[in-house]
A and B are shown apart, each in its own frame.
Chain A
Amino acid sequence: MKMTIEPVSAFSSLDVLVAMDEGLFSAEGLELQMASRESRDIRSTTEGALSSPVTNQGRLQERGEATMFQG
Chain B
Amino acid sequence: MIVCAALVVPPDSSVYVPQELAHRRVGLDYGNGTAYAGLQMLEGAVPREAVSTCAAVTHPGERYAAMMRGEFDATVLQEPWITVAEKAGCRLVSTTFFHGTWVAGPHLDPELYAAFLRGVIRAVRRIKADKRRYVSYFKEGWAAGDAAVQALTPDDFNLGRIQLREPTPIPEGEARWAWDWMASWGLIHGTFDVTTQINRKIAREAHELAFAALSR
Contacts and interface: CB of A to CB of B under 8 A. Distances in A.
Interface of A: 1, 3, 9-19, 22, 24-25, 27-30, 32, 44-51, 53-58, 61, 67-71
B56 A45 contact: yes
A71 B170 CA distance: 13
A54 B123 contact: no
Contact of A70 (B56, B102, B137, B141): B102
A17 B127 CA distance: 11
Interface residues of B, number: 52
Contacts of A11: 3-4, 60, 78-80, 138
A14 B119 contact: no
A67 B108 contact: yes
Contacts of A25: 115-116, 119
Contacts of B105: 61, 67
B79 A49 contact: no
A28 B118 CA distance: 7
Contact of B31 (A27, A30, A53): A53
B188 to A, nearest CB: 9
B32 interface: yes
B116 A24 contact: no
Q: Which of B33, B119, B120: most chain A Cβ within 10 A? A: B119
Contacts of B152: none
Contact of B142 (A9, A27, A58): A9
A65 B116 CA distance: 17
A69 B186 CA distance: 24
